[in-house]
Structure 1
Protein backbone atom coordinates (compact mmCIF):
# COMPACT_ATOMS: atom_id res chain seq x y z
CA UNK A 1 0.00 0.00 0.00
CA UNK A 2 1.50 3.32 -1.03
CA UNK A 3 1.78 6.31 1.29
CA UNK A 4 -1.00 8.45 -0.28
CA UNK A 5 -3.49 5.59 -0.14
CA UNK A 6 -2.65 4.95 3.50
CA UNK A 7 -3.10 8.66 4.30
CA UNK A 8 -6.51 8.73 2.58
CA UNK A 9 -7.57 5.68 4.56
CA UNK A 10 -6.46 7.20 7.85
CA UNK A 11 -8.23 10.49 7.10
CA UNK A 12 -11.45 8.70 6.19
CA UNK A 13 -11.31 6.68 9.39
CA UNK A 14 -10.93 9.84 11.48
CA UNK A 15 -13.52 11.97 9.69
CA UNK A 16 -16.31 9.37 9.34
CA UNK A 17 -18.10 7.63 12.17
CA UNK A 18 -18.53 3.90 12.31
CA UNK A 19 -21.84 2.08 12.16
CA UNK A 20 -20.82 -0.32 14.92
CA UNK A 21 -23.17 1.05 17.60
CA UNK A 22 -26.30 0.84 15.42
CA UNK A 23 -25.30 -2.59 14.12
CA UNK A 24 -24.65 -3.96 17.60
CA UNK A 25 -27.95 -2.56 18.89
CA UNK A 26 -29.98 -4.07 16.04
CA UNK A 27 -28.16 -7.40 16.30
CA UNK A 28 -28.68 -7.53 20.08
CA UNK A 29 -32.43 -6.95 19.77
CA UNK A 30 -32.76 -9.62 17.06
CA UNK A 31 -30.59 -12.05 19.02
CA UNK A 32 -32.66 -11.56 22.19
CA UNK A 33 -35.88 -12.17 20.22
CA UNK A 34 -34.50 -15.34 18.60
CA UNK A 35 -33.17 -16.67 21.92
CA UNK A 36 -36.54 -16.03 23.59
CA UNK A 37 -38.40 -17.86 20.79
CA UNK A 38 -35.94 -20.77 20.96
CA UNK A 39 -36.30 -20.98 24.76
CA UNK A 40 -40.10 -20.97 24.51
CA UNK A 41 -39.95 -23.73 21.88
CA UNK A 42 -37.68 -25.88 24.07
CA UNK A 43 -39.91 -25.33 27.09
CA UNK A 44 -42.99 -26.30 25.03
CA UNK A 45 -41.29 -29.53 23.84
CA UNK A 46 -40.25 -30.36 27.42
CA UNK A 47 -43.83 -29.87 28.65
CA UNK A 48 -42.84 -27.03 30.99
CA UNK A 49 -45.07 -23.92 31.25
CA UNK A 50 -43.97 -21.01 29.08
CA UNK A 51 -42.07 -18.03 30.51
CA UNK A 52 -44.11 -15.37 28.68
CA UNK A 53 -46.15 -17.11 25.98
CA UNK A 54 -45.83 -20.41 24.17
CA UNK A 55 -45.25 -20.35 20.41
CA UNK A 56 -48.82 -21.63 19.86
CA UNK A 57 -50.32 -18.86 22.01
CA UNK A 58 -48.17 -16.25 20.27
CA UNK A 59 -49.28 -17.50 16.83
CA UNK A 60 -52.96 -17.45 17.83
CA UNK A 61 -52.56 -13.92 19.25
CA UNK A 62 -50.91 -12.68 16.04
CA UNK A 63 -53.62 -14.33 13.90
CA UNK A 64 -56.41 -12.71 15.92
CA UNK A 65 -54.73 -9.30 16.16
CA UNK A 66 -56.36 -7.69 13.08
CA UNK A 67 -59.86 -8.58 14.24
CA UNK A 68 -59.28 -7.51 17.86
CA UNK A 69 -57.55 -4.19 17.13
CA UNK A 70 -58.93 -0.88 15.93
CA UNK A 71 -57.82 -0.46 12.28
CA UNK A 72 -56.40 3.01 13.00
CA UNK A 73 -54.12 1.62 15.70
CA UNK A 74 -53.04 -1.21 13.43
CA UNK A 75 -52.20 1.28 10.65
CA UNK A 76 -50.30 3.46 13.14
CA UNK A 77 -48.28 0.46 14.36
CA UNK A 78 -47.49 -0.51 10.77
CA UNK A 79 -46.40 3.05 9.97
CA UNK A 80 -44.20 3.08 13.08
CA UNK A 81 -42.53 -0.19 12.11
CA UNK A 82 -42.03 1.09 8.55
CA UNK A 83 -40.50 4.32 9.91
CA UNK A 84 -38.14 2.30 12.12
CA UNK A 85 -37.09 0.30 9.06
CA UNK A 86 -36.45 3.46 7.04
CA UNK A 87 -34.40 4.93 9.90
CA UNK A 88 -32.30 1.77 10.15
CA UNK A 89 -31.74 1.79 6.38
CA UNK A 90 -30.74 5.47 6.46
CA UNK A 91 -28.38 4.88 9.38
CA UNK A 92 -26.74 2.04 7.50
CA UNK A 93 -26.37 3.78 4.15
CA UNK A 94 -25.78 7.47 4.95
CA UNK A 95 -22.20 8.61 5.47
CA UNK A 96 -21.63 9.34 9.12
CA UNK A 97 -19.58 12.50 9.44
CA UNK A 98 -17.66 13.65 12.46
CA UNK A 99 -17.05 17.37 12.96
CA UNK A 100 -13.48 17.03 11.67
CA UNK A 101 -11.64 18.00 8.50
CA UNK A 102 -8.45 16.96 6.78
CA UNK A 103 -5.82 19.62 6.18
CA UNK A 104 -3.52 19.55 3.17
CA UNK A 105 -0.26 17.76 3.89
CA UNK A 106 1.90 15.75 1.54
CA UNK A 107 3.71 13.73 4.20
CA UNK A 108 1.12 12.74 6.76
CA UNK A 109 -2.56 12.74 7.67
CA UNK A 110 -3.58 15.91 9.49
CA UNK A 111 -7.12 15.96 10.86
CA UNK A 112 -8.47 18.97 12.77
CA UNK A 113 -11.68 19.37 14.71
CA UNK A 114 -14.17 21.99 13.47
CA UNK A 115 -13.89 23.80 16.81
CA UNK A 116 -10.16 24.32 16.25
CA UNK A 117 -10.82 25.83 12.82
CA UNK A 118 -13.52 28.06 14.32
CA UNK A 119 -11.13 29.21 17.03
CA UNK A 120 -8.43 30.06 14.49
CA UNK A 121 -10.90 32.03 12.34
CA UNK A 122 -12.14 33.88 15.44
CA UNK A 123 -8.58 34.77 16.38
CA UNK A 124 -7.79 36.06 12.88
CA UNK A 125 -10.96 38.18 12.73
CA UNK A 126 -10.33 39.44 16.26
CA UNK A 127 -6.79 40.55 15.36
CA UNK A 128 -8.00 42.14 12.10
CA UNK A 129 -10.77 44.10 13.80
CA UNK A 130 -8.91 45.10 16.96
CA UNK A 131 -11.66 43.94 19.32
CA UNK A 132 -11.33 41.82 22.45
CA UNK A 133 -11.28 38.01 22.04
CA UNK A 134 -14.69 37.60 23.66
CA UNK A 135 -16.32 39.81 21.04
CA UNK A 136 -15.85 37.34 18.17
CA UNK A 137 -17.57 33.95 17.96
CA UNK A 138 -17.35 31.49 15.08
CA UNK A 139 -19.31 28.38 14.27
CA UNK A 140 -18.14 25.96 11.57
CA UNK A 141 -20.76 23.59 10.17
CA UNK A 142 -20.89 21.89 6.80
CA UNK A 143 -19.39 24.18 4.18
CA UNK A 144 -19.83 27.47 6.04
CA UNK A 145 -18.27 29.39 8.90
CA UNK A 146 -20.55 31.89 10.61
CA UNK A 147 -18.58 34.66 12.31
CA UNK A 148 -20.36 37.01 14.72
CA UNK A 149 -18.44 40.18 15.64
CA UNK A 150 -19.61 42.53 18.36
CA UNK A 151 -17.71 45.79 17.87
CA UNK A 152 -16.57 48.15 20.59
CA UNK A 153 -19.03 51.02 21.00
CA UNK A 154 -18.22 53.91 18.68
CA UNK A 155 -15.96 51.79 16.44
CA UNK A 156 -17.15 51.01 12.91
CA UNK A 157 -16.01 47.72 11.39
CA UNK A 158 -15.83 46.79 7.71
CA UNK A 159 -17.52 43.40 7.26
CA UNK A 160 -15.91 42.99 3.82
CA UNK A 161 -12.39 43.32 5.22
CA UNK A 162 -13.19 40.88 8.02
CA UNK A 163 -14.65 38.41 5.52
CA UNK A 164 -11.45 38.67 3.44
CA UNK A 165 -9.34 38.00 6.56
CA UNK A 166 -11.45 34.95 7.43
CA UNK A 167 -11.29 33.69 3.83
CA UNK A 168 -7.50 33.99 3.71
CA UNK A 169 -7.20 32.13 7.02
CA UNK A 170 -9.40 29.30 5.73
CA UNK A 171 -7.52 29.20 2.39
CA UNK A 172 -4.22 28.63 4.26
CA UNK A 173 -5.44 25.25 5.50
CA UNK A 174 -6.00 23.70 2.07
CA UNK A 175 -9.21 21.95 3.11
CA UNK A 176 -10.66 19.36 0.75
CA UNK A 177 -14.14 20.88 1.15
CA UNK A 178 -14.10 24.65 0.86
CA UNK A 179 -15.55 26.56 3.80
CA UNK A 180 -17.16 29.91 3.00
CA UNK A 181 -17.11 32.46 5.82
CA UNK A 182 -20.09 34.72 6.55
CA UNK A 183 -19.15 37.63 8.81
CA UNK A 184 -21.91 39.50 10.59
CA UNK A 185 -21.13 42.65 12.53
CA UNK A 186 -23.64 43.23 15.33
CA UNK A 187 -25.49 46.52 15.42
CA UNK A 188 -24.97 47.00 19.15
CA UNK A 189 -21.45 47.36 20.47
CA UNK A 190 -19.67 46.30 23.62
CA UNK A 191 -18.98 49.03 26.16
CA UNK A 192 -15.48 49.57 27.50
CA UNK A 193 -13.62 46.95 25.53
Structure 2
Protein backbone atom coordinates (compact mmCIF):
# COMPACT_ATOMS: atom_id res chain seq x y z
CA UNK A 1 0.00 0.00 0.00
CA UNK A 2 1.52 3.32 -1.03
CA UNK A 3 1.92 6.22 1.38
CA UNK A 4 -0.74 8.47 -0.20
CA UNK A 5 -3.39 5.76 -0.06
CA UNK A 6 -2.51 4.95 3.54
CA UNK A 7 -2.82 8.62 4.50
CA UNK A 8 -6.23 8.90 2.79
CA UNK A 9 -7.41 5.80 4.64
CA UNK A 10 -6.21 7.12 8.01
CA UNK A 11 -7.85 10.51 7.42
CA UNK A 12 -11.15 8.88 6.47
CA UNK A 13 -11.04 6.70 9.57
CA UNK A 14 -10.54 9.77 11.79
CA UNK A 15 -13.08 12.06 10.11
CA UNK A 16 -15.95 9.57 9.76
CA UNK A 17 -17.68 7.75 12.59
CA UNK A 18 -18.14 4.02 12.66
CA UNK A 19 -21.53 2.40 12.38
CA UNK A 20 -20.38 -0.54 14.51
CA UNK A 21 -22.53 0.42 17.52
CA UNK A 22 -25.77 0.39 15.50
CA UNK A 23 -24.75 -2.86 13.79
CA UNK A 24 -23.90 -4.57 17.07
CA UNK A 25 -27.14 -3.40 18.67
CA UNK A 26 -29.28 -4.63 15.76
CA UNK A 27 -27.41 -7.95 15.61
CA UNK A 28 -27.73 -8.44 19.38
CA UNK A 29 -31.48 -7.86 19.34
CA UNK A 30 -31.93 -10.18 16.35
CA UNK A 31 -29.70 -12.86 17.91
CA UNK A 32 -31.58 -12.69 21.23
CA UNK A 33 -34.91 -13.09 19.42
CA UNK A 34 -33.64 -16.06 17.38
CA UNK A 35 -32.18 -17.74 20.47
CA UNK A 36 -35.46 -17.28 22.32
CA UNK A 37 -37.39 -18.82 19.39
CA UNK A 38 -34.94 -21.74 19.30
CA UNK A 39 -35.29 -22.28 23.06
CA UNK A 40 -39.08 -22.24 22.85
CA UNK A 41 -38.96 -24.75 19.96
CA UNK A 42 -36.68 -27.10 21.92
CA UNK A 43 -38.90 -26.83 24.99
CA UNK A 44 -41.98 -27.60 22.87
CA UNK A 45 -40.28 -30.67 21.33
CA UNK A 46 -39.23 -31.87 24.80
CA UNK A 47 -42.78 -31.51 26.10
CA UNK A 48 -41.78 -28.90 28.70
CA UNK A 49 -44.00 -25.85 29.29
CA UNK A 50 -42.93 -22.73 27.38
CA UNK A 51 -41.12 -19.86 29.05
CA UNK A 52 -43.24 -17.15 27.45
CA UNK A 53 -45.13 -18.71 24.52
CA UNK A 54 -44.65 -21.84 22.45
CA UNK A 55 -44.26 -21.53 18.67
CA UNK A 56 -47.76 -23.04 18.32
CA UNK A 57 -49.28 -20.39 20.62
CA UNK A 58 -47.40 -17.62 18.80
CA UNK A 59 -48.70 -18.89 15.44
CA UNK A 60 -52.31 -18.91 16.69
CA UNK A 61 -51.86 -15.44 18.20
CA UNK A 62 -50.45 -14.06 14.94
CA UNK A 63 -53.24 -15.65 12.88
CA UNK A 64 -55.92 -14.14 15.14
CA UNK A 65 -54.22 -10.76 15.51
CA UNK A 66 -56.02 -8.93 12.64
CA UNK A 67 -59.46 -9.96 13.92
CA UNK A 68 -58.67 -9.24 17.59
CA UNK A 69 -56.99 -5.84 17.16
CA UNK A 70 -58.35 -2.45 16.24
CA UNK A 71 -57.18 -1.61 12.68
CA UNK A 72 -55.77 1.73 13.81
CA UNK A 73 -53.49 -0.07 16.27
CA UNK A 74 -52.30 -2.44 13.55
CA UNK A 75 -51.56 0.52 11.28
CA UNK A 76 -49.68 2.29 14.08
CA UNK A 77 -47.62 -0.83 14.84
CA UNK A 78 -46.83 -1.30 11.14
CA UNK A 79 -45.81 2.34 10.83
CA UNK A 80 -43.56 2.02 13.88
CA UNK A 81 -41.86 -1.10 12.51
CA UNK A 82 -41.41 0.56 9.11
CA UNK A 83 -39.94 3.65 10.80
CA UNK A 84 -37.42 1.50 12.68
CA UNK A 85 -36.46 -0.14 9.38
CA UNK A 86 -36.01 3.21 7.64
CA UNK A 87 -33.88 4.49 10.54
CA UNK A 88 -31.65 1.41 10.37
CA UNK A 89 -31.22 1.81 6.60
CA UNK A 90 -30.41 5.52 7.02
CA UNK A 91 -27.93 4.77 9.82
CA UNK A 92 -26.19 2.28 7.55
CA UNK A 93 -26.14 4.47 4.45
CA UNK A 94 -25.48 7.90 5.94
CA UNK A 95 -21.94 9.20 6.03
CA UNK A 96 -21.29 9.58 9.74
CA UNK A 97 -19.04 12.63 9.79
CA UNK A 98 -17.23 13.78 12.88
CA UNK A 99 -16.45 17.43 13.55
CA UNK A 100 -12.88 17.00 12.32
CA UNK A 101 -11.01 18.06 9.21
CA UNK A 102 -7.87 16.96 7.40
CA UNK A 103 -5.14 19.53 6.90
CA UNK A 104 -2.85 19.47 3.88
CA UNK A 105 0.37 17.54 4.50
CA UNK A 106 2.59 15.53 2.17
CA UNK A 107 4.30 13.51 4.88
CA UNK A 108 1.57 12.43 7.28
CA UNK A 109 -2.13 12.50 8.08
CA UNK A 110 -3.06 15.63 10.04
CA UNK A 111 -6.58 15.76 11.45
CA UNK A 112 -7.82 18.72 13.48
CA UNK A 113 -11.04 19.17 15.43
CA UNK A 114 -13.41 21.96 14.30
CA UNK A 115 -13.04 23.64 17.70
CA UNK A 116 -9.29 24.04 17.10
CA UNK A 117 -9.93 25.68 13.74
CA UNK A 118 -12.57 27.93 15.32
CA UNK A 119 -10.11 28.96 18.03
CA UNK A 120 -7.41 29.78 15.46
CA UNK A 121 -9.84 31.85 13.38
CA UNK A 122 -11.00 33.68 16.52
CA UNK A 123 -7.39 34.45 17.40
CA UNK A 124 -6.62 35.79 13.90
CA UNK A 125 -9.74 37.99 13.87
CA UNK A 126 -9.04 39.15 17.44
CA UNK A 127 -5.51 40.23 16.54
CA UNK A 128 -6.72 41.92 13.35
CA UNK A 129 -9.47 43.80 15.20
CA UNK A 130 -7.33 44.69 18.21
CA UNK A 131 -9.93 43.50 20.71
CA UNK A 132 -9.78 41.26 23.78
CA UNK A 133 -10.01 37.47 23.25
CA UNK A 134 -13.45 37.30 24.89
CA UNK A 135 -14.89 39.65 22.29
CA UNK A 136 -14.58 37.18 19.39
CA UNK A 137 -16.40 33.86 19.14
CA UNK A 138 -16.30 31.45 16.22
CA UNK A 139 -18.25 28.32 15.37
CA UNK A 140 -17.26 26.02 12.52
CA UNK A 141 -19.93 23.78 11.05
CA UNK A 142 -20.16 22.21 7.62
CA UNK A 143 -18.55 24.53 5.10
CA UNK A 144 -18.86 27.76 7.06
CA UNK A 145 -17.23 29.55 9.96
CA UNK A 146 -19.46 32.05 11.73
CA UNK A 147 -17.44 34.72 13.51
CA UNK A 148 -19.15 37.06 15.99
CA UNK A 149 -17.11 40.16 16.96
CA UNK A 150 -18.14 42.53 19.75
CA UNK A 151 -16.14 45.74 19.28
CA UNK A 152 -14.87 47.92 22.07
CA UNK A 153 -17.25 50.85 22.67
CA UNK A 154 -16.44 53.82 20.49
CA UNK A 155 -14.34 51.89 17.95
CA UNK A 156 -15.63 51.00 14.51
CA UNK A 157 -14.51 47.73 12.96
CA UNK A 158 -14.27 46.95 9.25
CA UNK A 159 -16.09 43.65 8.64
CA UNK A 160 -14.39 43.22 5.25
CA UNK A 161 -10.91 43.42 6.81
CA UNK A 162 -11.91 40.95 9.51
CA UNK A 163 -13.33 38.58 6.87
CA UNK A 164 -10.03 38.84 4.97
CA UNK A 165 -8.11 37.95 8.17
CA UNK A 166 -10.35 34.93 8.77
CA UNK A 167 -10.04 33.84 5.11
CA UNK A 168 -6.26 34.19 5.25
CA UNK A 169 -6.10 32.04 8.38
CA UNK A 170 -8.30 29.35 6.83
CA UNK A 171 -6.34 29.38 3.57
CA UNK A 172 -3.15 28.45 5.45
CA UNK A 173 -4.56 25.06 6.41
CA UNK A 174 -5.16 23.74 2.89
CA UNK A 175 -8.45 22.10 3.84
CA UNK A 176 -9.94 19.64 1.35
CA UNK A 177 -13.41 21.04 2.02
CA UNK A 178 -13.16 24.83 1.86
CA UNK A 179 -14.61 26.78 4.79
CA UNK A 180 -16.12 30.18 4.06
CA UNK A 181 -15.99 32.69 6.93
CA UNK A 182 -18.94 34.94 7.72
CA UNK A 183 -17.96 37.78 10.06
CA UNK A 184 -20.66 39.67 11.92
CA UNK A 185 -19.77 42.77 13.92
CA UNK A 186 -22.21 43.32 16.78
CA UNK A 187 -23.93 46.69 17.02
CA UNK A 188 -23.34 46.99 20.78
CA UNK A 189 -19.80 47.30 22.04
CA UNK A 190 -17.97 46.03 25.07
CA UNK A 191 -17.26 48.67 27.70
CA UNK A 192 -13.75 49.15 29.02
CA UNK A 193 -11.89 46.52 27.08
1:62-101 aligned at under 5 Å gives the runs: 62-101=62-101
Classify the secondary structure of the residue corresponding to 1:126: helix
Looking at structure 2, the residues matched to 123 and 63 of structure 1 have their Cα atoms a distance apart, in angstroms, of 68
Normalised by the size of structure 1, how large is the TM-score?
0.98
Aligned-residue offset at 1:21: 0.3
Count of paired positions: 193
Aligned-residue offset at 1:46: 1.0
Is 1:168 the equivalent of 2:168? yes
Unaligned runs of 5+ in 2: none
Looking at structure 2, the residues matched to 192 and 63 of structure 1 have their Cα atoms a distance apart, in angstroms, of 78
Looking at structure 2, the residues matched to 187 and 57 of structure 1 have their Cα atoms a distance apart, in angstroms, of 72
Which residue in 2 is equivalent to 1:53?
53
Which residue in 2 is equivalent to 1:156?
156
Classify the secondary structure of the residue corresponding to 1:173: coil
Which residue in 1 is equivalent to 2:33?
33
Is 1:126 the equivalent of 2:100? no
Runs (4+) of structure 1 exceeding 6 A deviation are none
Aligned-residue offset at 1:185: 0.8
Moved more, 174-183 or 57-66: 57-66
Classify the secondary structure of the residue corresponding to 2:172: helix
Deviation sequence 1:98-125 (CA, Å, 0-9, x none): 1100000011110000000000000000
Looking at structure 1, the residues matched to 68 and 136 of structure 2 have their Cα atoms a distance apart, in angstroms, of 62
Unaligned runs of 5+ in 1: none
Is 1:135 the equivalent of 2:124? no
Looking at structure 2, the residues matched to 59 and 149 of structure 1 have their Cα atoms a distance apart, in angstroms, of 67
Aligned-residue offset at 1:42: 0.7
Aligned-residue offset at 1:80: 1.0
Looking at structure 2, the residues matched to 154 and 74 of structure 1 have their Cα atoms a distance apart, in angstroms, of 67
Which residue in 2 is equivalent to 1:145?
145
Looking at structure 2, the residues matched to 101 and 177 of structure 1 have their Cα atoms a distance apart, in angstroms, of 8
Which residue in 2 is equivalent to 1:6?
6
Aligned-residue offset at 1:59: 1.0
Normalised by the size of structure 2, how large is the TM-score?
0.98
- The alignment's C-alpha RMSD in Å is 0.7
Which residue in 2 is equivalent to 1:20?
20
Classify the secondary structure of the residue corresponding to 2:151: coil
